[in-house]
Structure 1
Amino acid sequence: MRQLLLPVLLASLLTPVAATAQDASGRPEVGAAAERLREEVVALRRHFHQFPELSNREVETSAKVAEHLRALGLEPRTGIAHHGVVAIIKGGRPGPRVALRADMDALPVTERTGLPFASEVTTTFNGQETGVMHACGHDAHTAILLGVADALVAMRDELPGEVMLVFQPAEEGAPPGEEGGASLMLEEGLFADFRPEAMFGLHVFSSLPVGTIAVRGGPLMAASDRFTITVQGRQTHGSRPWGGVDPIVAAADLVGSAQTVVSRRSDLAHQPAVVSFGEFHGGIRYNIIPDQVEMAGTIRTFDEGMRSKIHADLDNVARHVAAAHGATVTTEIPAGTGNPVTVNDPDLTARMLPSLRAAAGVENVIEPPLQMGAEDFAYYAREVPSMFFFVGATSEGIDPATAPSNHSPEFLLDEASLDVGLRAMLQVTLDYLEGH
């Protein structure tokens, strides 16, 4: 998930999705495929975990994916949005078209899990040496979809319709100055010759216990916008601040005042919103008041009207607070193009709930609250009816509310979630194709 520290899903906020008479039954072919592929999917996940690659740098990962697909008899297209891989499985019977997506990129995080297959990869990111880790679970997503591909190919002769497999790079966001991810795949013609009638994606989630699936129709994950604010003052010696304009004091006041953009200027009774500062850079010596301070942060919203208003309000607060200190500001609000809201098609979600229940058990499918995290799966969901769901990743005996979150260097995936994810994605795909 892009630009995200995953929120905790407290158990008290989770609502079981009511069972209905239309609940689908578990398919024996799904169970058989899951059993047959269990060890292979685990091995694939461990390989990807041990050799992670950052966004727009997924060279070996995409090569491994393409090699596996060719071994299944498929003809993958490569090089889409830099390192994206796409393959089509054509069934032996007529039917609808569906697309399945997995993301492949890792994060600039130094792993601290102690796993025997832990990443030892290092790189330079934003000028700093860092480790590289699949701290968000994209290694699991890639392995699951390769397993689903294997299962679907094995039953291809009896399969109605066609399935597009989308292995996407750069979900976590392209490096500065580059493009990437779902939006670039679409720009480069992902759906030009194959337009699916539905699309499905999943994400392993540390804040849910293994065996659990969480999904909701309508808005699920927030729109995400990055912003930058530069406060320009006038340098002076720290012993005589009156000789200049202190941008650190102005910037600190700005950070505090900016909290009113949400708490006092946004209608939180309508939808939640967040404005958070994540970067604050200014000065190089303890006794010198610097010329400027640079700040950056994120805005999360679920409503386009609120989104635009928060952009304008934050810019207004920044300019007036800076002026009150005799400083000036330069703002980029937003800085670049952010993710839109991830919206699950309500009708499609209601239709596929029985399939998720069949895969995980009725009592294990729940409706989560709105998530302030963001996902570029949202771009696909704007093009075709889509459903995105969470798969619990935290082992039994560990409190999901306190387990290391996705993006943590200690993020620890229970590999039983691979089995749940494969069963769920395969069940959903088969049920959709056969019109259940």
Structure 2
Amino acid sequence: MKYILTLLLLLPCVVFSQANIDKDIANVEEKLIDWRHYFHQNPELSNREYKTAEKIAEHLENLGLDVETGIAKTGVIGILKGDQPGKVIALRADIDALPVTERNNLPFKSEVRTTFLNTETGVMHACGHDTHIAILMATAEILAKHKDKIKGTVKFIFQPAEEGPPPGEEGGAKLMIKEGALENPKVDAIFGLHINSETPVGTIKYKTEGIMASVERFVITVKGKQTHGSQPWSGVDPIMISAKIIDGLQTIISREAKLTDEAAVITVGKITAGTRFNIIPESAELIGTVRTLDPKMREMIINRMREMSKSIAEAYGGEVEISFQNNTSITYNDPELTAQILPSLQKVASKEKVELMKATTGGEDFSYFQEKVPGVYFFLGGMSPGTTEPYPHHTPDFRIDDSGMLLGVRAFTQITFDYLNN
């Protein structure tokens, strides 16, 4: 009886505490939107996020966090120590923009211009990373205000160059890991989110195991024999061989990959060859990408691409060189950790609004963090109610509804409390 009375006396305090947290989250929305608009108007490309990093670091310092800057060139890490000892959780946001010229009438539209790979272009947060920054900044403010309720430590990782560093440079999650982002203190689990323009506001989508694909960049150089365009029999045509290779590569997907297990894609995105209409050139270059969601399938496809390209080139008298560059691994959600935090997501969004999704062939270098520690990555709805034709990511017309961000703050906050205090 004494125990029951004690529990009843404590219960109002717990409810009151949660009510305070909910109120603080609701009150941070105005700041959240202001931050997002600032970053959207002032986008910076991968490994060049200098002003972005300065604003993030200033905010974290004002919250009283231990702040590290210059990680992986422009990355920022904030460390919040709870009032009680415990595990270490990491929350990650990517901070870079894209070389895309914005095409809309938003009052906070980006007018930034730059030169990227010798081409003049606009700069735009065309993938929603501006919302990710704002969400994690707001989460840091809420958790710092309630650190007395935290058992353990929270690391806020603001990562540059998720879209890939410029040619010849290191960057992104790989470099952050190399420079100790998951150490001192050592991270036990990491969580990330991505807003989505085609998912309704208020919805969260998740998947156990592979949720996003590994991304390989490949280059195939076909070597032939140059000759006059009027006398193809006196040379070896690398353009014709390239066409045969492209056709052959697609049969790996359509006839050899077990697509009932996982999706896979081979895409040739660029072909370069020749100088004149009447010259069969000496060589041709094919550049493309491979997307896979299963390690064994990835190995099979890469091996078959090597074999097939070589065989086709030799059959027509040519030679071939092929190389692969891994851009991301499979974004793999740890099954046990996913099951553990699923109730947290359902608590903030409702069971009906937390949906199991199919894997996507997009890629994410958050996957490199997941190779080192258990992690979960999920998608957050950013599509306005009533939208019938949402604009895809990485396009000039891409847009996100500001009202979708607050659920991201609630999700990160709930995951943190539940994971550390469990």
TM-score relative to the length of structure 1: 0.90
Alignment of 1:57-136 (within 5 A): 57-136=48-127
Alignment of 1:270-281 (within 5 A): 270-281=261-272
Asked if the contact 1:27/1:427 (under 8 Å) is kept, the reply is no
Over alpha carbons, which structure has the higher Rg?
Answer: 2
Q: Could you tell me how far apart the structure 1 residues matched to 2:100 and 2:383 are?
A: 19
Q: Could you tell me how far apart the structure 1 residues matched to 2:234 and 2:59 are?
A: 66
Give 2:415's aligned residue: 428
Range with bigger deviation, 279-288 or 303-312: 279-288
Q: Could you tell me how far apart the structure 2 residues matched to 1:374 and 1:354 are?
A: 26
Q: Could you tell me how far apart the structure 2 residues matched to 1:404 and 1:324 are?
A: 44
Kindly report the root-mean-square deviation, in angstroms, between the aligned alpha carbons of the 2 structures. Answer: 1.7
Give the alignment partner of residue 380 of structure 1, picking from 369, 373, 394.
369
Q: Could you tell me how far apart the structure 2 residues matched to 1:27 and 1:327 are?
A: 70
Range with bigger deviation, 406-415 or 267-276: 267-276
Q: Could you tell me how far apart the structure 1 residues matched to 2:124 and 2:212 are?
A: 23
Give the alignment partner of residue 208 of structure 1, picking from 199, 202, 205.
199
Shift of 1:171: 0.8
State whether structure 2 residue 245 is matched by structure 1 residue 254. yes
Question: Structure 2: where are the runs of 5+ without partners?
Answer: 1-14
Asked if the contact 2:102/2:109 (under 8 Å) is kept, the reply is yes
Shift of 1:238: 2.9
Question: Structure 1: where are the runs of 5+ without partners?
Answer: 1-24
Shift of 1:207: 2.2
Give 1:357's aligned residue: 346
Range with bigger deviation, 43-52 or 27-36: 27-36
Give 2:328's aligned residue: 339
Shift of 1:30: 4.0
Deviations 1:197-244 (A, max 9, x none): 221110001221111100112221111111111112233333333343
Asked if the contact 1:111/1:119 (under 8 Å) is kept, the reply is yes
Give the alignment partner of residue 157 of structure 1, picking from 148, 154, 169.
148
Q: Could you tell me how far apart the structure 1 residues matched to 2:28 and 2:396 are?
A: 28
Give the alignment partner of residue 302 of structure 1, picking from 288, 293, 305.
293
- What is the aligned residue count? 407
More helix by percentage? 2
Shift of 1:285: 3.1
Q: Could you tell me how far apart the structure 2 residues matched to 1:266 and 1:129 are?
A: 40
Give the alignment partner of residue 418 of structure 1, picking from 398, 405, 412.
405
Asked if the contact 1:30/1:423 (under 8 Å) is kept, the reply is no
> Match of 1:39, SS?
helix
Residue 359 of structure 2 aligns with an amino acid whose one-letter code is: L
Identical columns (%): 47
Residue 268 of structure 1 aligns with an amino acid whose one-letter code is: L
Comparing both chains, which one has the higher relative contact order based on Cα–Cα distances under 8 Å and sequence gaps of 6 or more? 1
Deviations 1:167-202 (A, max 9, x none): 001111112211111111111112221112221110
Residue 164 of structure 2 aligns with an amino acid whose one-letter code is: G
Q: Could you tell me how far apart the structure 2 residues matched to 1:52 and 1:144 are?
A: 16
Residue 418 of structure 1 aligns with an amino acid whose one-letter code is: M
Deviations 1:320-344 (A, max 9, x none): 2222232221110x12x33111111
Give 1:19's aligned residue: none
